[in-house]
Amino acid sequence: MTSEVEVDAVVLVGGRGARLRPLTLSAPKPMLPTAGTPYLSHLFSRISEAGIKHVVLGTSYRAEVFEEYFGDGKALGLELEYVVEDEPLDTGGAIRNVYDRLRAEHVIVFNGDIISGADLSAQLGVHYDSGADVTLHLQRVPDPSRFGSVPTDETGRVQAFLEKTPYPTTDQVNAGCYVFRRQVIESIPTGRRVSVERETFPALLEKGAHLHGFVDASYWLDVGTPEAFVRGSADLVRGIAPTSALPGRAGEFLVLDGASVAEDAELSGGSTIGVAAVVGSGAKIDGSVLFDGAAVSEGAIVENSVLGHGARVGAGAVLRGVVLGDGASVGAGCELLDGARIWPDTVLPDGSVRFSSDA
Ligand code: GTP
């Protein structure tokens, strides 16, 4: 049996996205332009391709912007509903909070910040065939010591949720996408913060519920940090990460309508140049994301960096692994390296040099 069984989708988009500050001061993480369109557009394209129509967004931080942008979802072939938490309820609390809007017997829940190529129909198929209460997408990763791990037995049944350890016994980690039987969601406590990963799943296992693994090794990236954000965007632009929502053709770079790029500027590494952004003569942009209206002056070098809306980089400046908040301005000849984050509207004068610092 596969996806002919009706299924609802829930997308969790209420997090504050602290690791992506200052970009998330003005927009919630799932709305940040990723390969030229809000990250959520890519996820919606996957959901739609799996034949799922009804999608409920669990929102909290900056709740209003989602509906303002996506409306009722008709343009995407979806039926979107929005549920706002008065206080953030964490992942499990957010899932429980949308329970009244669910219609189908099975519900696929997504973290709103994962880029993945896993086959949703295959995950649903494993869920139906195994008769599980919850089927978790478990991703095989090269370095599982960075995550908690989730071993399964020979039938695919989850055995444990293990804390991070330097020597994990399996390379399977929780990938942030779960199929629930709807009644299981009803059993999550209401009206308080609940972590689905730390509380709900271990408690279900303890009670003898059937938790199953859908183990997969296709593209997967949690875009929660600036480094992952630029990589994810570049992978979408270059066609390494799957999407049908790319506003253009996959290639070494993506230049949105209304951007202006000097003929002798160099764009590479899956960079995106936003609407009305400007790249000056001889500038080099590699593996970076320029939001709408950002400007890079002549001869500047921008690598693996994100430039917020209207941010400016002066002539000959060098930025490597940097986040510039909206409207921030870096003077000519500045050098910023190694994870420096510049807060919105900050002005760094010409020639100032900073390494790895917050300003
Ligand atoms: P950081 O603050 O950088 O850790 O990011 P985050 O707040 O997004 O948290 P995390 O990456 O752990 O969240 C995983 C997913 O759950 C993201 O899609 C979040 O938007 C979502 N999420 C986290 N907390 C809440 C919450 O309280 N309510 C809702 N509705 N979603 C949440």
What single letter denotes the amino acid at residue 188? Answer: I
Q: Which whole number is the average pLDDT over 95-109? A: 97
Which residues on adjacent β-strands are paired with residue 135? 179, 212
- Which CATH fold would you assign to the domain 7-222? Spore Coat Polysaccharide Biosynthesis Protein SpsA; Chain A (3.90.550)
Question: Which ligand 1 atom is at minimum distance from the Cα of 94?
Answer: 30
C-alpha 137/C-alpha 120 separation (Å) is 9
Under the banding of pLDDT at 50, 70 and 90, the label for residue 52 is very high
* The CATH number of domain 252-355 is 2.160.10.10: yes
Per-residue pLDDT reduced to its tens digit, 242-281: 898 988 888 999 999 999 999 999 999 999 999 999 999 9
Per-residue pLDDT reduced to its tens digit, 273-323: 999 999 999 999 999 999 999 999 999 999 999 999 999 999 999 999 999
The rounded Å distance from CA 267 to ligand 1 centre is 33
The rounded Å distance from CA 193 to ligand 1 centre is 12
Provide residues with CB under 6 Å of ligand 1. 12-19, 29, 58-60, 85, 88-91, 94, 111-113, 224
- Asked if pLDDT for residue 1 goes beyond 50, the answer is no
So what's the pLDDT on residue 231?
97
- Asked if pLDDT for residue 5 goes beyond 70, the answer is no
Residue nearest to atom 29 of ligand 1 (CA): 14
The rounded Å distance from CA 175 to ligand 1 centre is 14
Which of 32, 89, 91, 341 for mutating ligand 1's site (highest number of atoms within 8 Å of CB)?
Answer: 91
**Average pLDDT taken over every residue of the chain:** 93
Q: Which whole number is the average pLDDT over 196-200? A: 95
Distance between first and last Cα of the chain: 55
**Sheet strand arrangement including 323-324:** 253-255, 271-273, 289-290, 306-307, 323-324, 341-342
- Asked if pLDDT for residue 2 goes beyond 50, the answer is no
Which of 20, 23, 29, 114 for mutating ligand 1's site (highest number of atoms within 8 Å of CB)?
Answer: 29
Instruction: Please give the structure tokens belonging to residue 261.
Output: 């790029």
Residue nearest to atom 10 of ligand 1 (CA): 15
Question: Of 343 and 3, which is predicted with more confidence?
Answer: 343
C-alpha 233/C-alpha 240 separation (Å) is 10
So what's the pLDDT on residue 356?
52
| Residue 279 φ/ψ region, left for φ over 0, alpha for ψ in the -120 to 50 degree band, beta for the rest | beta
- Domain positions in the chain are 7-222, 252-355
252's CB contacts (< 8 A; 6+ apart) are 237, 238, 267, 268, 269, 270, 271
The rounded Å distance from CA 18 to ligand 1 centre is 9
What single letter denotes the amino acid at residue 303? Answer: E
CB 283 within 8 A of CB 297: yes
Q: Which whole number is the average pLDDT over 201-227? A: 96
Instruction: Please give the structure tokens belonging to residue 302.
Output: 């921008």
So what's the pLDDT on residue 66?
95
So what's the pLDDT on residue 148?
87
Question: Which ligand 1 atom is at minimum distance from the Cα of 110?
Answer: 18
C-alpha 310/C-alpha 312 separation (Å) is 6
- Asked if pLDDT for residue 126 goes beyond 60, the answer is yes
Per-residue pLDDT reduced to its tens digit, 140-172: 999 989 888 999 999 999 999 998 889 889 999
Residue nearest to atom 23 of ligand 1 (CA): 15
Which residues on adjacent β-strands are paired with residue 106? 7, 181
